[in-house]
Amino acid sequence: MRHVPRALAAAVIPLAVIASSAADANATPSISSAPSAAFVLNTETGKFNGATETGPQERDGLSASVPSLQVLSRPGTGAVLAGMTLASSPTKQERAAWAANSHFVDLSWPDLGGAYEVYKNDRLVAATAGHSMRDTHVQPGSVIDYQITGKTGTWGLTVTVPKGSDTETLEATAAQAETQAKKYTKTAVVWRSFIRQKWAYVPGKYKKLSGCTYASGYKYAGDNRGFSSKVDGPSYRAKLKGVVYWTKSSYDLFPSTGKSRVYSTKTGKLVATKHASAKKIDFRTKTRFDGKTRAVHADIEATDPFCKYGGIGAFYDARLARNGDFYVSGKYKQAPDNEMYIYGYTSGTKHSTKTVHRSKMGSIKCLYKGACELGTLSNNGGY
């Protein structure tokens, strides 16, 4: 069972790998209208049925450490480039993969029953009762984002369509991706929760409900800022930075909370200052080190040091790949403002930046009340 922070325990958490993008306004295609795929992932093994890896097993020594893209062949169907990031998930229900040449893309996902809708770059393109399909409307050399949604799961796959279908071109495409991937030495994930306003207030009528020491007649200093993609960023109420390394098995976590300050609304003078506890802010890996991908889990839970109830609550699960692929899913309380970023480090302080999540506060009551509607955290793609 996934650990759910106490701040989120009152909510029902539905199972989802990645939330779907908004559907296109066009009508839904009929069930089973999607062409059949030749390359179909076996979610029990995490490999394509009947396919074998072709070409050199070592591409300048990179394949052993970054095999997120493979060149596969299957009798009678030729060779394809295959994306295996999600296929290596430790949970069978999360496994999905793609196989492509310059003429088609084959998509596979777990057979969880029911019907599935397939979105291509946010547009609904197919519906099927199966767990695989082929897309023949592809542009050689393009990158396509697919989402597959069902009643019990949703998956996101970012596909690189090769410029050619010959083995040499497929190998070159895979080698180019691996060379780029080897530049990453570590990946950092940062979550921050902050109060956008300059001041926050707890109405006197909620003093007992919130357990706040200071309510009517007092104001709490906010962070007085908007979103920021800086690694160390500006002021915050709660922050978690988790780091995985691609050349060693260790990982790091840096949990912290901002200082809470209370002022008199009448005199404007500082009344009290205190830090919230960071003991319930945690980041950890879920899979062994292999230099290729790493599954991680994080919990962010913090209560105002002057209040007994309410506060910040979030959790997420993520799979990070050295080549820059990722997916994230989770839940968060919709107060205060929240932001999440992934940074791929190539050397020293040089890094790429991916904005994973940004949400503005729904109601400040979530900060001082025990119950709060949860939002869904989801994203996938590349950093």
Per-residue confidence (pLDDT) for residue 33, from 0 to 100: 57
Of residues 324, 328, 305, 323, the one with CA closest to residue 190: 328
In terms of Cβ atoms closer than 10 Å to its own Cβ (0-12, 13-18, 19+), residue 136 is exposed
Give long-range contacts, CB 8 A cutoff, 24+ apart: 29-32: 29/124, 29/125, 29/126, 29/127, 30/127, 31/115, 31/127, 31/128, 31/129, 32/127, 32/128, 32/129, 32/130
Per-residue confidence (pLDDT) for residue 92, from 0 to 100: 86
Sheet with 116-120, strands from edge to edge, namely 123-128, 116-120, 143-149, 154-160
**Coil, strand or helix at 153:** coil
- How far apart, in whole angstroms, are the C-alpha atoms of residue 336 and residue 300? 13
E strand or H helix that includes residue 199: strand 199-200
Per-residue confidence (pLDDT) for residue 165, from 0 to 100: 92
Q: Would you report the helix, strand and coil content of the chain in percent, each value rounded to 5?
A: 10, 40, 50
Q: pLDDT tens, position by position, for the chain (383 residues)?
A: 334 343 343 332 222 233 333 333 344 444 445 678 999 999 999 999 999 887 544 444 334 344 578 899 988 888 999 988 888 777 788 889 999 999 999 999 999 888 999 999 889 999 999 999 999 999 999 989 898 988 877 788 888 899 999 999 999 988 887 777 778 999 999 999 999 999 988 888 878 877 889 999 999 999 999 999 999 879 999 999 999 999 999 999 999 999 999 999 999 999 999 999 999 999 999 988 988 889 999 999 998 899 888 789 999 999 898 888 888 889 999 989 999 999 999 988 999 999 999 999 977 777 766 667 889 888 877 78
- How far apart, in whole angstroms, are the C-alpha atoms of residue 269 and residue 246? 49
Per-residue confidence (pLDDT) for residue 324, from 0 to 100: 83
Per-residue confidence (pLDDT) for residue 31, from 0 to 100: 46
Question: What does the H/E/C string look like for 55-70?
Answer: CCCCCCCCCCCCCCEE
Of residues 84, 96, 78, the one with CA closest to residue 164: 78
In terms of Cβ atoms closer than 10 Å to its own Cβ (0-12, 13-18, 19+), residue 303 is buried
Task: Show the DSSP H helices in 193-239 as ranges.
Answer: 207-210
- How far apart, in whole angstroms, are the C-alpha atoms of residue 332 and residue 377? 7
- How far apart, in whole angstroms, are the C-alpha atoms of residue 299 and residue 193? 13
Residue type, 29: P
